[in-house]
Amino acid sequence: MTGSEDLYDVTIIGAGPVGLFAAFYAAGMRGLKTKIIEALDIVGGQLVTLYPDKYIYDVAGFPKILAKDLVRNLESQAMAYKPTLVLGESVEGLF
């Protein structure tokens, strides 16, 4: 690390639905400096890689929503608070 600009209050591993919501909560609701690290080159996890055009029926507030639409909404909500997003990088260990 070269300085405090490299320090984050929260680092989230994975930019699937839970990671995106965690980023929204940490950065948006708590004002924490937040970083998301995702191994894939896109956000959304299994929802966008396995079944983007299938409906999801178990999300509070939505009787049904397409997986890709849920991810789009979560990404928009999280990124509004400007967390640092790193795509195409894997975490190999925690030190």
For residue 2, pLDDT over 90 is answered with no
Report if residue 74 sits inside a domain: yes
Residues 6+ apart with CB under 8 A from 40: 15, 49, 87, 88
pLDDT of residue 13: 98
For the whole model, what pTM was predicted?
A: 0.89
- Whole-number Å distance between alpha carbons of 27 and 82: 8
- Whole-number Å distance between alpha carbons of 73 and 86: 19
| CATH number for the domain that contains residue 47 | 3.50.50.60
Angle, CA 32 vertex, CA 70 and CA 46 arms, to 5°: 25
> Which pLDDT band holds residue 4 (cuts at 50, 70, 90)?
low
**What is the extent of the structural domain holding 31?**
7-87
Higher-confidence position of 42 and 5: 42
Report if residue 19 sits inside a domain: yes
> Which pLDDT band holds residue 94 (cuts at 50, 70, 90)?
confident
CB 26 within 8 A of CB 82: no
For the segment 8-34, the average pLDDT, to the nearest whole number, is: 98
Neighbouring CB atoms inside 10 A of 41's CB total: 8
For residue 5, pLDDT over 70 is answered with no
Number of structural domains, the chain?
Answer: 1
Report if residue 68 sits inside a domain: yes
Report if residue 1 sits inside a domain: no
Report if residue 94 sits inside a domain: no
For residue 61, pLDDT over 50 is answered with yes
For the segment 3-27, the average pLDDT, to the nearest whole number, is: 92
User: Tokens 């849920």 sit at which residue?
Assistant: 70
